Structure formats: C-alpha cells, structure tokens
Amino acid sequence: MAATQPQRPTRTLASADFPIDPSSPLFVAQAVVLSALGGAGAGGTLGWARKQNPFQLGVNMGINCGIVSLFFFGTREYLVSPILLGVCATPAHARRAEELETGITEPQSISDVRMNRILDSAIAGAAAGGGLSTFIRGPRTLIPAAFTAGLLATVGQGLVNQSRVWRLELLAKRAREGLPEPAPAFEPAVEVMESFETPAKPDGERRGDAPITSRMMGVLSHILPVKKLSDEDYLAGLEKKRNDVDRRIAEIDAEQLAMWTNAQK
C-alpha cells in the first residue's frame, strides 16, 4: 500500500495563533499615504475641471481616501488575514502561515499569484465598507454598502494581482531574451583534431610549427592584427567563455528567485 502523506492538523478559532505579517505596519502606512495622495490629486483635478476650489476639494478627497484606506488595510492586515491564516482557511493561507512561521518563502505559480489575497480583500472590504457606512449613514445601509465595498475590493485586488502576473511574464521574457545564444556546432578540421590527439611531433616540435607556417604567421603579424594561439591559449579562451556563460546563468536564476519572492508580497 502506498504511504499516506501527513496531513496538516485542522485549526479552529480556539487553537489558532493568528499570525501577523511583520511587514504589515509599513505596508499599511504606505498604502494610506499613497491613497491620500491619490485622492488629493484626483480631487484637485476634479475641482479644476469643475471650476471649483481645487485645494479644498483635493484636501477633502485626500482625507476621505486616507480614512477609507486605513480602515480597509488595517482590517485586512490586523483582523481578517490573521484569522484566515490562523485557521488555514485555504491551501494558500496554509502556505503563507507556514512561510511566516519558518521564514522560508516558496515560489508561487501564476494561478496562485492571480488568486493571492482575493478572499482577504473581499472580506475586509465588506467589513470596512459596511462599518463605515453604518457609522455615517445608519444601519440600513450596512448590507448594500458591505456588498458594494466587498465587490470593489475583490475587483481591485484582482487587477493588482493581474498586473503582477503581467510584470512576472515581462521579466521572464526579458530573462529568456537575455540568455546567451547556444554555441554553434563546431566540427574542427582533421588537422586540428590531430593536433589535440597528437600535440607533438616525434622530434618534440609542436604540430603547425613548420618553417613555412612560422614564416607566414610572422609576415601576417606585421600586416594584420593576428596572433598565433597555442593549444593552451585556445583552451584558456574557451574556459573563460564558459565561465562567463555560467555566471550569466547564475545571475538569471537569482533574478527569477527574487521575482517570485517579490510577487507574493
């Protein structure tokens, strides 16, 4: 019988430890600042187009966007995601919880990148949007606002994930284009093969060092920038080219690893 794979123990709300991503504080702060700046820019542009006070409208929209962003990202990073990670709601959450616990990041497939944090954003959007609307407009707007905000958050997260997929595909395409061309098949002449198999003549002289060959190389060296290479020099040149190709392949592997690592953040 085939050996059964060990199953991850089922976690409940009572047994979960609710891990929080260490980068959440900086991420939330950056998201709030960028949202406020984007809202201010959009408000100023809208005020200028409507011939209203662009400064006042920009400040109002900037503050509103910052508050909405704070509620949304704060709810997602400090409430929704820790709960989903703690109970391992999906295989993706189980993997992320293990990564936070071990500190080892695993590569993600394209489908994983497309679905990254979709559920987190949907729940956080519904909770933040419904809560804010209830606080401002009353409890009657809870369900419509939660549905609308959750839908917008889901679509927005999907667009962000798709942009990451496009970026990964572009980087992978550039990496493939940057690979060195394979060396063409080289079939040396019989004389060259013989020089490697029997590099020395019976009297100790190297093959190709006949007087007429030496005189021809001497004349050409004064006319053209040519140089007679020994077998050792030729092999050294091939070794240098191979080292350059190996170094480039190692750089491409490092770039791909960094690309997959940054895709899940």
How confident is the model at residue 265, as a pLDDT? 60
pTM for the model stands at 0.60
- Band (212; pLDDT cuts 50, 70, 90): low
Joined together, the tokens standing for residue 40 give 């201010």
How confident is the model at residue 19, as a pLDDT? 86
Handedness of CA 112, 113, 118, 121 (dihedral sign): positive
Q: Average pLDDT, stretch 191-206? A: 47
Mean confidence (pLDDT) of the chain? 78
How confident is the model at residue 190, as a pLDDT? 43
Work out the end-to-end distance of the chain between its first and last CA atoms, rounded to an integer number of angstroms: 41
- Band (30; pLDDT cuts 50, 70, 90): very high
Q: Look at residue 31 and tell me whether its pLDDT is greater than 80.
A: yes
Q: List, in sequence order, the alpha helices (H) in 178-210.
A: 190-197
Q: Look at residue 154 and tell me whether its pLDDT is greater than 90.
A: yes
Spatial distance between the Cα atoms of 105 and 13, rounded to a whole number of angstroms = 25
Q: List, in sequence order, the alpha helices (H) in 104-210.
A: 110-114, 118-137, 142-177, 190-197
How many helices, marked H, and strands, marked E, lie in the chain? 10, 0
Determine if residue 51 is left, alpha or beta; phi over 0 gives left, psi from -120 to 50 gives alpha, anything else beta: left
Residues in Cβ contact with 260 at an 8 Å cutoff, skipping those fewer than 6 apart: 105, 107, 108, 168
Q: Average pLDDT, stretch 224-230? A: 57
Domain ranges of the chain: 12-106, 109-177, 190-201+208-256
